[in-house]
Structure 1
């Protein structure tokens, strides 16, 4: 077999981001999430709730489901990372989680418009979402092998940019050819899938699940063709041995204060970011009464911004290092979140707006661009800073801990949003806990070494 070049291996690694991003773009944020909110709201209206209570119940249901999925991911991530390092293989794990991704996404086709199988659809959504997040842990652990410390920041940023471009392209395809707008037609007036799907039954929107599954199945192929693991001679480790390895790794954290603070900090600010992603489209529908075309345009702007800013962020990371890039992105996200929480269709920071004012729409579109752009920068730079804290002897285990820090409390933001929504009865005020999470994460970054903690590896390993 001809040797695969470093350049092709990097492109293969990037293709995972391209293949997997539509789950987040199409299903979590811009198409299925808001569609689920519509179906769930109508269902709760049919039970006798008033409009605002039905909207709040729909957001609460989505919040608790995202929280439960995050809890499962957080518990399992470090265990599987340790197990993969013990056995020396990652590709079989990625293949298994890829199957979960495809099956979970495909099953969303079967959502019933009357809301009679809401919980089954949430279960299917969670299956694919968990598969995507678990696979990402193993993909991230390969980053240190793709380049030098000076190169991985740009590689990471470019990977996110490439992935977001894939998400943008998939969103445009779905909006133009599949998702129904007014009158059962797409955003450019076509019948869904050129009339092959029934717009009255929302088959174009429901097809987003199978489209996401097919997209992943096709575009993951370059990854499996070009990213080959080095042959590592390791005994076939057991779950018990993996757990012992994980326990030893966690105990070692007391001697690696910079890594410990980074894991806790990223746990909080990435949880806040995921909360914004999970509720962005739903917020726009429930608070501003946006239609599907508006949410689609919002998604295109956010995804396009993610492509551009992720690429720029990679350049800034290479020049200044990841820590200052992370801090800057968090401050922008805090500011934007504060604005939209204090905005409704009728007022801005308590000041009444003229009836029919489009100022909230303009602000929300700008916010979408900043959420997408800063979110891309934040994720890419965080991945680079984790590389600077990664023990090369156990990269998957290290990124398992990173996955744990990103998902162990991934239930907190959705649950806090669910609680705040329930207590206030407002979908708008319900999103406010993300600001607190961003601030706590920012404070803890103060004790994170911008250059990592390589000097402690040997001591902590002894």
Structure 2
């Protein structure tokens, strides 16, 4: 591991696994993993399903936001505790793909269970919450092992571009998935008039089948588009060691690594900074759509169009940021991204139903106003686009930073620790949001908590020295 003590110049990053780029098919297939998984994050957890679940299935947007926050907190705690150990075990065993396959299968099954989320059936509420938690855990564990494949595909000076391309592919997949949801649920937008009470494909509006079908379709999407990664992206060879020995070695390694992290002050600073700013970003992503649904009463149409606009901005920005990452460095790319997300979040927290910018009165939304017809909605849109510009580059450049710091034979373990740092307090922001929302009966407090985490992460990142390449 590259260690930089306080006041010392950054040392050269360790040699990477791949001295030359892998074939284009291997690299493209690796990026397809982001395409395959992004609809879960875009359509289910951010823009469509969870806002539908909190407002319609739970039936109360404030209570729904609180339940979703506590579910996120529980899942985040499990991810934080397990990711480093799973990563170290995979490093000891050599192969990453078997782990990927197992967690992708669990993610697909959890998504399929979301079909049960029907309003007026309180008996399925907790089953759906468990499915959402399992999906979150499986998706995050999958990312640990997929990230660890990155340094084996390109040399260090090109990792930023491939990482950014992968995120860009993911956002593109998210856009297409959002379009599909809108067309199915609101075919009137493209001039198709279904029979009364139905959406496209005969889905019933009164039982919200267009929203509930999102989970099973996400499972099908995942199965189809994750397949190229399993077929064409190279994995490390297995060690041939018995499973029991692999588990014991992995546990010893991660305990030893964590115990000695304080010897690597520069890397430790980065992990703490990431822990803070990534927690803030996750809260923005998790609660942005929920907040808009509660404040403005947005439904599937508004949330879908909002998500498409946000993702259209995010996709090219993250691809461009990959070039910036390779030229200006991962740290500067992340810093610029945090500033954009913070400005957008600050604007969002300034909005109420009848004011913007912390007290500037604007007309409240009325039934007579058209789509996004109120000033508050338009200002929310503008602020959210700033978040969209920064969220992808922040995640892609952070992923690259770990690859530049980690020893080649400990990549999965360090991506597990990276996931731990991103999840160690991931329960904290949702938990604080859940508690504050329940106590104050206000959704607005979520954005304030987000700002605290983003600011603290930016301050800690300022002291991180990026290794020379």
Structure 1 and Structure 2 fold alike (TM over 0.5):
yes
Contact 2:54 2:65 (8 Å CA) reproduced: yes
Say which of 160, 168, 171 aligns to 1:153: 160
How far off its partner does 1:254 sit? 1.3
Matched, 1:352 2:361: yes
Partner of 2:39 in structure 1?
A: 22
1:401-423 deviations in whole A, cap 9, x for unaligned?
Answer: 01111112211111111122123
1:222-268 deviations in whole A, cap 9, x for unaligned?
Answer: 10111121324352334332211111111221111111111111011
Say which of 325, 341, 355 aligns to 2:349: 341
Partner of 1:97 in structure 2?
A: 103
Matched, 1:449 2:450: no
Query: Aligned equivalents of 1:426 and 1:420: distance in 2?
Result: 8
Say which of 36, 44, 64 aligns to 2:53: 36
The change in CA–CA distance for 1:336 and 1:188 in structure 2 (over 3 A counts) is farther
In the TM superposition, what are the counterparts of 1:37-436 in structure 2 within 5 Å? Answer: 37-42=54-59, 54-116=60-122, 117-177=124-184, 179=185, 189-191=192-194, 194-236=200-242, 237-348=245-356, 349-356=358-365, 358-436=374-452
Segments of 4+ in structure 1 off by > 4 A?
185-190
Query: Aligned equivalents of 1:5 and 1:334: distance in 2?
Result: 37
The change in CA–CA distance for 1:291 and 1:231 in structure 2 (over 3 A counts) is closer
Query: Aligned equivalents of 1:17 and 1:376: distance in 2?
Result: 12
Query: Aligned equivalents of 1:138 and 1:193: distance in 2?
Result: 38
Query: Aligned equivalents of 1:443 and 1:40: distance in 2?
Result: 40
How far off its partner does 1:442 sit? 0.7
SS in 1 for 2:241: coil
Contact 2:91 2:410 (8 Å CA) reproduced: yes
How far off its partner does 1:142 sit? 1.1
SS in 2 for 1:199: coil
How far off its partner does 1:318 sit? 1.6
1:268-314 deviations in whole A, cap 9, x for unaligned?
Answer: 11111111111111100111222321111110011111111111111
The unaligned stretches of length 5 or more in structure 2 are 1-20, 366-372
Moved more, 237-246 or 274-283: 237-246
Query: Aligned equivalents of 1:14 and 1:218: distance in 2?
Result: 14
Query: Aligned equivalents of 2:226 and 2:32: distance in 1?
Result: 6
Contact 2:364 2:374 (8 Å CA) reproduced: no
Contact 2:58 2:119 (8 Å CA) reproduced: no
Query: Aligned equivalents of 1:173 and 1:389: distance in 2?
Result: 40
Query: Aligned equivalents of 1:376 and 1:166: distance in 2?
Result: 14
Query: Aligned equivalents of 1:190 and 1:138: distance in 2?
Result: 45
1:334-387 deviations in whole A, cap 9, x for unaligned?
Answer: 111111111112112112213447221111112222222210010001111111
SS in 1 for 2:333: helix
SS in 1 for 2:462: helix
Contact 1:301 1:368 (8 Å CA) reproduced: no
Query: Aligned equivalents of 2:263 and 2:190: distance in 1?
Result: 56
The change in CA–CA distance for 1:352 and 1:146 in structure 2 (over 3 A counts) is same
How far off its partner does 1:11 sit? 0.5
Contact 2:74 2:427 (8 Å CA) reproduced: yes
Contact 1:16 1:220 (8 Å CA) reproduced: yes
SS in 1 for 2:39: helix
SS in 2 for 1:432: helix
The unaligned stretches of length 5 or more in structure 1 are 43-53, 455-462
Partner of 1:457 in structure 2?
A: none
The change in CA–CA distance for 1:355 and 1:26 in structure 2 (over 3 A counts) is closer
Query: Aligned equivalents of 2:22 and 2:119: distance in 1?
Result: 49
Contact 1:261 1:447 (8 Å CA) reproduced: yes
SS in 2 for 1:290: coil
Query: Aligned equivalents of 1:5 and 1:407: distance in 2?
Result: 31
How far off its partner does 1:115 sit? 4.3
Query: Aligned equivalents of 2:91 and 2:221: distance in 1?
Result: 29
SS in 2 for 1:18: helix
| RMSD of Structure 2 on Structure 1 (CA) | 1.8
Query: Aligned equivalents of 1:372 and 1:332: distance in 2?
Result: 8
SS in 2 for 1:201: coil
Partner of 1:459 in structure 2?
A: none
Contact 1:176 1:186 (8 Å CA) reproduced: yes
Structure-2-length-normalised TM-score: 0.89
Query: Aligned equivalents of 2:190 and 2:350: distance in 1?
Result: 30
The change in CA–CA distance for 1:260 and 1:234 in structure 2 (over 3 A counts) is farther
Query: Aligned equivalents of 2:361 and 2:189: distance in 1?
Result: 34
Aligned residue-pair number: 435
